[in-house]
Amino acid sequence: MDKRDLHARPVRARRRLRLLLASGAAAFTLTAGLATPLNPAPQQAQAKDDKSTLTVAVAQSVDSLSPFVAQRLISTSVHRLMYDFLTNYDAETGKAIPGLATEWKTSKDKLTWTYKIRDNSKWSDGKQATAEDAAWTYNQLMTKEGSALQNANFVANFKKVTAPSPTELVVELKKPQATMTALDIPIVPKHLWEKEGDLAKFNNDKKFPIVGNGPFVVTDYKVDSYVKLKANKDFWRGAPKFDELVFRYYKDQDAAVAALRKGEVSFVAGSPSLTPAQAASLKKTDDIKVNDAPGRRFFAIAVNPGARTQDGEKFGDGHPSLHDQKVRQALFTSVDRKTIIDKVFQGYAEEGAGYIPPRFKDYFWKPGADQEMSYDPKKAAQLLDDAGYKKNGDGKRVGKDGKPLEYRMLCHATDPNDKAIGKYLKEWWGDLGIGLKVDCMDNVTDPWYAGEYDLAFDGWSVNPDPDFVLGIHTCAALPAKPKETASTDNFICDKKFDDLYQQQLAEYDPAKRADIVKEMQSQLYDSGYMNVMAYPNAVEAYRTDQIKSITTMPKSAGNIYGQDGYWSWWSAVPADGSESSGDSGGSSTGVVVGIVVAAVVLAGGGFLIARRRRSTAEERE
């Protein structure tokens, strides 16, 4: 092949290469130079359109905009804003107050509930929201196909739901149910949804704005990026103060905090809670308020009591020594809860006691001094000696079978607190002579449901109505077959606890019901199968130069993100002049620096090219 021929191409190739290089560099510089001065874009947009936007950074992405499909907290929070529920919870007391229903009454036999539906709630397409919509929504959940949908658990005890008139909804029950004013089911517009075929596969994310009747209307949604809502000016309780609400997804909580610092977002959700380090550094920052709210979660250590089915068939391989109450008590009297609060949570948590967190005042219970398993390593050692687990030559506790005690503990790899507390437990129990292997996994449910664990980190977010978190410790919640998915939390099954559970469910008098619930907690505490270590606070933060005021729940000291109502976002008031925050000092520095950077890059590029020219020239000589 001819050499010349071979080299004819390269000249072009080379020119093209250089051209490409130059254009690539130019494009990059241009982007950097142009884009940087525009920062921060959102505030500028506000200034331009003269509308106030509240941007919330969340650590979860929306899984579905359909309330029948969505499972994540972010999605249910958005649904709260899109659709009205029958009832709502008072921001101060947490008691049920009117939502779509204005009032409700129950029949003498406690089996029929009649709700009066308000006549001033309109869907955002102009149609009236009626009892018919509510009945349709509930009926969908009650059908055979509907039972696989989200929220179906609320209607499991329903016999029949009808709407005799547009303002009247009647629910007939199979058994009395005390939670009838806590039906957290978003009610969707029947006239649009009945046209959608299979609800299990409909994600409600094709047509915008999405028709709803809540305080906000979803106008835009981008998977894994953001959900945008605009204020519903016709909302019956009154229009929200912010014109626009955006939930923006950050995979990394740290990135979200950084965005808050810069003013890219107005609020960082405390789910997961901000870390002590983040909270401490944000507290030192101007114009940022850290909201340290008592949490609604409990953080507990669950003990495997021996997994079994409803029929009593045993399975799993929980350590038999843990069936001895003395051993369990020894374990938990050697745990220093105060250190956990001070060191791991660094004060952003309450010390654990009863099962239900103290923020739910009505149901909160804590053990008396004689009942409490307080930190006492000596007593723990004594308890183990008494139970027959003596230390051997190596300082290990040995069982009757001659094997040293060694427990496995399930830990959520995604929860830093699990890992941190695991480290402490390992050392405390190590001092006691008990070995601990902390198994951290992304997905703990498999060994958990198989009963293949000794101890586990456990925690639930508690609703204002405690029915659910109590129900998961009843015999009825046990699996039907070994290793099958079931609603049981920890395979606890106790006749006395079950009787109390049934009593509270049928008790319509709040005070009496609360007493029963406390008794149940006392019993759970003594069993030593559920040991609450702490109630972690929900630590969140917002910019006071963007949000003037916002309602927490409870009002005095409560959380903002993940409330049981829509109070926070509905009540949030824009800060004065937040519309013009695009002109604030920070971003103008940004502009200057952006220009400087662009100039430096250009100059550097110019220098390189000049140098190249020169060197070529030198070679020519």
Partner 1 sequence: MASESTTARDQDAVPDGPAEAGPSARGPRSRSTSGYLRYVAGKLAGAAVSLFAVLVTSFFLFRLIPGDPVKAMTGGRQVSSEQIRAMREEFGLDLPMWQQFTDYCGKALTGDLGTSYQFKAPVVDKISEALPATLLLTGTAFVLYTLIGIWLGSRSAWRHGRFGDRFNTAFALTLYSVPSFWLGLLLIIVLSVGIGPIPGMFPTGGMESGGESGFGYVIDVAHHLILPVITLVAVEYARTLLVMRSSLLDEMGSDYLTTARAKGLRDDEVRTKHAVPNALLPTVTLLFVNLGNTVAGAILVETVFSWPGLGGLFYQALSVPDLPLVQGLFFVFAAAVILMNTLADLIYPLLDPRVGR
Partner 2 sequence: MKTDRTKPSAEAPAGETAKSAATSARSVAWARRRRAAAQFWRQYRGHRSGLAGLVILVLIAVLALAAPLITGSDAQSVTDAPGTPLEEPSGEFPLGTDQFGRNLLALLLWGARVSLTVGLLAAFLTVAIGTLVGITAGHFGGWYSTVIMRITDWFLVMPTLVLAIALATVMDKSIWTTVIAIGVTAWPTTARLVRAQTLAVESRPYIERATALGGGHRHIMGRHVLPNVMPLVLAQTTLVISQAILTEATLAFLGLGDPMIVSWGGLLQDAREAGAVSSGAWWYLAPPGLAIAVVALAFTLCGRTIESVLNPKLGVTR
Cα→Cα distances 506→104, 105, 111, 453, 608, Å:
17, 16, 10, 35, 82
Report 420-479 residues binding partner 1 (CB under 8 A): 441-443, 445-447, 449, 468, 471, 477
Binding to partner 1 (CB under 8 A): which residues in 84-143?
none
616 binds partner 1 (CB under 8 A): yes
Instruction: Tell me the two tokens of residue 280.
Output: 């401490």
Q: Is 486 in the site for partner 2 (CB under 8 A)?
A: no
**Partner that binds at residue 484, options partner 2, partner 1, none, CB closer than 5 to 8 Å by kind:** partner 1
* C-alpha–C-alpha distance, residues 261 and 287, integer Å: 9
What is residue 590's DSSP assignment? H
Q: Residues 259-278: x/- map of binding to partner 1 (CB under 8 A)?
A: x-xx-x--------------
Closer CB to partner 2, 417 or 546, in the complex: 417
416 touches partner 2 (CB under 8 A): yes
Alpha-helical regions (H) of 334-415: 337-339, 377-387
Binding residues among 22-51 for partner 1 as defined by CB under 8 A:
24, 28, 31-32, 34-36, 38-42, 45
Of 138, 89, 140, 98, the closest CA to residue 117 belongs to 98
Closer to partner 1 by CB, 36 or 382: give it.
36
State which of residues 81, 229, 411, 520 lies at the interface with partner 2 (CB under 8 A): 411
Cα separation, 489 vs 470, in Å, equals 10
Listed in sequence order, the residues at least 6 apart from 133 whose beta carbon sits closer than 8 Å to its beta carbon are 187, 188, 189, 190
419 binds, among partner 2, partner 1, none (CB under 5 to 8 A by kind): partner 2
| Contacted by 32, from partner 1, partner 2, none: CB < 5 to 8 Å by type | partner 1
Distance CA 570, CA 554 (A): 15
Select from partner 1, partner 2, none the partner in contact with residue 38, using the beta carbon and a kind-dependent cut-off of 5 to 8 Å: partner 1
Q: Which is nearer to partner 2, 171 or 282 (CB)?
A: 282
Nearer to partner 1, 55 or 181 (CB): 55
Structure tokens at 179: 């939670």
Which entry of partner 2, partner 1, none binds 409, CB below 5 to 8 A by partner kind? Answer: none
Residues in 586-605 at the binding interface with partner 1, rule: CB under 8 A: 586, 589-590, 593-594, 597
403: buried, middle or exposed (CB in 10 Å: 19+, 13-18, 0-12)? exposed
Q: Is 375 in the site for partner 2 (CB under 8 A)?
A: no
Return the residues of window 429-468 that contact partner 2 according to CB under 8 A: 438-442
SS3 364: coil
Does 224 interact with partner 1 (rule: CB under 8 A)? yes
Binding to partner 1 by residue 621, rule CB under 8 A?
no
Q: Which residues pair with 169 in a beta bridge?
A: 115
H helices present in 450-550, as ranges: 467-471, 495-506, 510-527
The contacts of residue 327 (CB under 8 Å, 6+ apart) are 321, 383, 384, 387, 389
- Is position 580 an interface residue for partner 1 (rule: CB under 8 A)? no
274 binds, among partner 1, partner 2, none (CB under 5 to 8 A by kind): partner 2
Residue 237 binds what, of partner 1, partner 2, none (CB under 5 to 8 Å, by partner type)?
none
Among positions 120, 174, 233, 255, the unique one binding partner 1 when judged by CB under 8 A: 255
C-alpha 269, offset from chain centre:
9
